[in-house]
Chain A
Amino acid sequence: MADGCLWKGIDSAVYQALLTRKYLTRKIMPMLAMVAVMLSVATILVTWSVMGGFLKTLIESGRTLVGDVSVVWPNVGFGYYDELIEDLEADPMVAAATPSIETFGLIQLPDDRIELVSIKGVEPGSYSDVTGFADTLWWKPIEEPTPKDRKREDLRLDDQNRALMEQVFANGLAMQRESPDSGEVEPAGVLGVEVTGLNYRTKWGGYEPWSANRARPDGGVDRVDSFMPRDGSVGLTVLSLDSEGRPIDPKRLTMPIANEFQSGIYEVDQRTILVPLGVLQRNLRMDAAQRVELVKDDENPFAVEVDPNTGEIRPKMKEIVGEDPARVTAVLIKAADGVTPEKLQERVREIYAVFAARHKGEVPSAFDMERQVKTWKDLNRTMISAVEKETGLVLFIFGIVSFTTVFLVLAIFWSMASEKTKDIGILRALGASTGGIAWLWIRYGAAIGLVGAALGTAVGYLIVRDINAIHDWIGETTGLVIWDPQQYYFIEIPSDVDPSKALIVFVVGVLTCVLGALLPAWHSARMDPVKALRFE
């Protein structure tokens, strides 16, 4: 027949609703299809939520120690930053700003290992205002155990350690420590908690200081107590650059450790040390200094003198004494409430332009700085794009999983539609149109999809909400630990369901069923009614 197109003839009628209801409640097959849809929807929602939550936590951790927006001028840095910070803090879009120096250097650990580290010079007070620094300090007194620490093994909980923890926490916040020998208070650094490798990561995701062995040249071994904040120190070697950016001489300094931090990003915690800004400025020769310049003396152009360095005769020179301002490589800025990093970035550029105009020739121009004003997202671009790739991969795998479900549903519907061939013949004989029959099955698919996907979403939501409890229960009853805080950097499995994700998974679940029903619907609708009636 010419009119093979069945979609233009879809009729909606009461018999479809009636039969959909009856077929749904009277047969085991739709139950199976529904369970299949439910399970795949729940699985996808759980995986997506956990994976997404994990990635989100990771990305958010990237923000912890860098503020919302940074003005970055690497290596040589820029001066008059105090003025810039004042200008910034006067703006209502800025909550706080703090100077910082970022450089690389070598660290010598208590067991004499030498590693490359990222060294950040910060002013502890204002750094805390701009970043989550205070919260990342690990050694501090705590009242409640961390989530997996059932047996309260965390030594930070212990009342005996309380005084020590309080002291160490205060030291960390101020970045200073009393010298065990002289009793003098001296500037101290804060180490990433994984740097020394001497903090043993416990089963419940905390840390216990571990003592280390140091090999002696005579073949013996020294025990090294490794609770760094008490009396540990590290050796740092930094390379200062002159104002042209050329390396001058390496400087070695001994840095007592005040506390250790955990930012949530392993790469950061494993190779970063924070030191007081002043210490780093001094050692990098970025502090304020008198500048002495020799210029030709114009008073008497013919006067000469002997150059004290070379012993040669030269035109008479005179000294001009100037001030080289202290420099930093970055100013970190925290946005006021409700201001997005992108908006703040724009504003900071404007503020910088005004500042640069005032110090023409003394600080990088506004034009040069345009691209050096970065949001925390820009700074973590590589990590974020890796995370985005992973999310893409996960979604791709979901696509394949959903596709399998389409076939599963198709197989189940096909067998149901064949089983109901005679019914279709009867309905056709009573005048039902091909479109009407097709609609019957599509409706049916949609109904199964709606119920299955709704149940699946609900089950998925409940699983994600209680995933840590479920995980613990599985661990207790079967000994199977899937998410091991000792291995993973996050102690708990992320347990938030993003409503928009839930909605997407639900809709895709329903569509899957409708898609699975299309082929049987088309087949059933096209069937010759007389043959269908003869079907046994």
Chain B
Amino acid sequence: MSTATSAQVETETRASDSSLILSVRDVRKTYKLGRVKVPVLHGVDLDVRRGEWVTILGASGSGKSTLLHLMGGLDRPDKVEGRRGSLVFEGDELTKQSKRALDRYRADDIGFVFQFYHLLPELSVLQNVCVGSMILHGRLGYMRHRAETQKRAGELLERFGLGHRLKHRPAELSGGERQRVAIARALINGPSLLLADEPTGNLDLKTGASILDAMIEYRERAGLTMVMVTHDERIAERADRVIRLEDGRVVEEPPRAG
């Protein structure tokens, strides 16, 4: 009883801190494979401030993708001894939201870039980018937003250097090009938080760098908050803040000068 009250108080204080866009507290996740339990996150605490660029480093299998899925409302943290931990986005407790509210959250508030592109193979580049808007607006809504959405998709793809490939299908694109489509898709609804899971992981250095430049440029223009998972220390260096996942917990790196 007293724990619940203190958690509530804490939630309220965090909610009142308007500089925080997302606040993660004591989030746990254990996968069960039959009888075998695979503990992945053991109580993660993390605050993301508005407009900030946070990079998450960690060994393979340390649970970076898992954490990102939790932050994106794709999955729910475990309940351990009656407590579920908490994820607060813009003052709303995600763990208490209905399924539909979480759907809405994913469609409207965040953009997701997956580790492995995950484009829809049957759709063209342009349609892949617009799909997020179709989902967000429903049938009638999309009819009204159609022209606007397509214009915005065109602009995004132009910015990522794919303006001339709108009609192509994902299978006809290189890995780097596909990732840029995936990023454009994540940004189509103008999210306030971008969750990117190793957006340059599968790419060579030069391609990776150019994609990163495009993202940074967009972030600065749009004031986007960005949480990015990476293996790459050199990418991490450019971020505002770097955290490390070790043994299922967050270890904060000391802020670097420069």
Chain A residues within 8 Å of B119, by CB? 426
Given contacts A19-B120, A429-B106, A430-B131, is CB(A529)–CB(B99) below 8 Å?
no
A533 to chain B, nearest CB (A): 7
Contact assessment for B122 and A22 in the assembled complex, using a CB-CB cutoff below 8 Å: yes
Contact assessment for A11 and B72 in the assembled complex, using a CB-CB cutoff below 8 Å: no
**A side interface size, CB within 8 A:** 30
Would you call B127 an interface residue if the criterion is a C-beta within 8 Å of the partner chain's C-beta atoms? yes
A300 to chain B, nearest CB (A): 110
Closest-by-CB residue of A relative to B186 is A430
Would you call B166 an interface residue if the criterion is a C-beta within 8 Å of the partner chain's C-beta atoms? no
Q: Which of A209-217, A246-254, A381-389, A431-439 contacts B (4 or more CB under 8 A)?
A: A431-439
- Among B98, B106, B114, contact of A3 (Cβ-Cβ < 8 Å): B98
CB-CB contacts of B161-189 with A at 8 A, as 1s and 0s? 00000000000000000000000010000
Number of A-B residue pairs at CB separation under 8 A: 86
Contact assessment for B135 and A15 in the assembled complex, using a CB-CB cutoff below 8 Å: yes
Would you call A530 an interface residue if the criterion is a C-beta within 8 Å of the partner chain's C-beta atoms? yes
Chain B residues within 8 Å of A434, by CB? 99
Contact assessment for B99 and A433 in the assembled complex, using a CB-CB cutoff below 8 Å: yes
**B side interface size, CB within 8 A:** 33
Given contacts A422-B118, A423-B120, is CB(A430)–CB(B132) below 8 Å?
yes
> With the chains together, A9 CA to B100 CA distance in Å?
8
CB-CB contacts of A1-25 with B at 8 A, as 1s and 0s? 1010000010111110011001100
Would you call B103 an interface residue if the criterion is a C-beta within 8 Å of the partner chain's C-beta atoms? yes
> With the chains together, A529 CA to B68 CA distance in Å?
13
Would you call A140 an interface residue if the criterion is a C-beta within 8 Å of the partner chain's C-beta atoms? no
Q: What is the predominant secondary structure among interface residues of chain B facing chain A?
A: helix
Would you call A428 an interface residue if the criterion is a C-beta within 8 Å of the partner chain's C-beta atoms? yes
Contact assessment for B74 and A530 in the assembled complex, using a CB-CB cutoff below 8 Å: yes
Would you call A427 an interface residue if the criterion is a C-beta within 8 Å of the partner chain's C-beta atoms? yes
Chain B residues within 8 Å of A1, by CB? 99
Closest-by-CB residue of B relative to A536 is B116
Contact assessment for B112 and A429 in the assembled complex, using a CB-CB cutoff below 8 Å: yes
Would you call B139 an interface residue if the criterion is a C-beta within 8 Å of the partner chain's C-beta atoms? yes
B52 to chain A, nearest CB (A): 23
> With the chains together, A301 CA to B82 CA distance in Å?
123
Would you call B94 an interface residue if the criterion is a C-beta within 8 Å of the partner chain's C-beta atoms? no
Contact assessment for B103 and A431 in the assembled complex, using a CB-CB cutoff below 8 Å: yes
Contact assessment for B99 and A15 in the assembled complex, using a CB-CB cutoff below 8 Å: no
B237 to chain A, nearest CB (A): 29
Contact assessment for A14 and B142 in the assembled complex, using a CB-CB cutoff below 8 Å: yes
Would you call B107 an interface residue if the criterion is a C-beta within 8 Å of the partner chain's C-beta atoms? yes
> With the chains together, A1 CA to B75 CA distance in Å?
12
Would you call B153 an interface residue if the criterion is a C-beta within 8 Å of the partner chain's C-beta atoms? no
Interface residues of B in 115-132 (CB under 8 A from A): 118-123, 127, 131-132
Would you call A26 an interface residue if the criterion is a C-beta within 8 Å of the partner chain's C-beta atoms? yes
- Among B98, B106, B122, B123, contact of A431 (Cβ-Cβ < 8 Å): B106
Would you call B69 an interface residue if the criterion is a C-beta within 8 Å of the partner chain's C-beta atoms? yes
> With the chains together, A434 CA to B98 CA distance in Å?
12
Chain B residues within 8 Å of A428, by CB? 74, 103, 106
Given contacts A1-B99, A12-B139, A422-B118, is CB(A431)–CB(B134) below 8 Å?
no
Chain B residues within 8 Å of A11, by CB? 138
Chain B residues within 8 Å of A423, by CB? 120-121
CB-CB contacts of B185-205 with A at 8 A, as 1s and 0s? 100000000000000000000
A-B contact pairs, 26 of them (CB 8 A): A1-B99, A3-B98, A11-B138, A13-B135, A14-B134, A14-B142, A15-B135, A18-B127, A18-B131, A22-B122, A23-B122, A426-B120, A427-B120, A428-B103, A428-B106, A430-B112, A431-B107, A431-B108, A432-B107, A433-B100, A433-B103, A528-B75, A529-B75, A530-B75, A533-B74, A533-B114
Instruction: Please report B residues at the A interface, Cβ cutoff 8 Å.
Output: 69, 72, 74-75, 98-100, 103-108, 112, 114, 118-123, 127, 131-132, 134-139, 142-143, 185
The 7 tightest CB contacts between A and B, nearest first, are: A431-B107, A22-B122, A431-B106, A15-B134, A14-B134, A14-B142, A433-B103
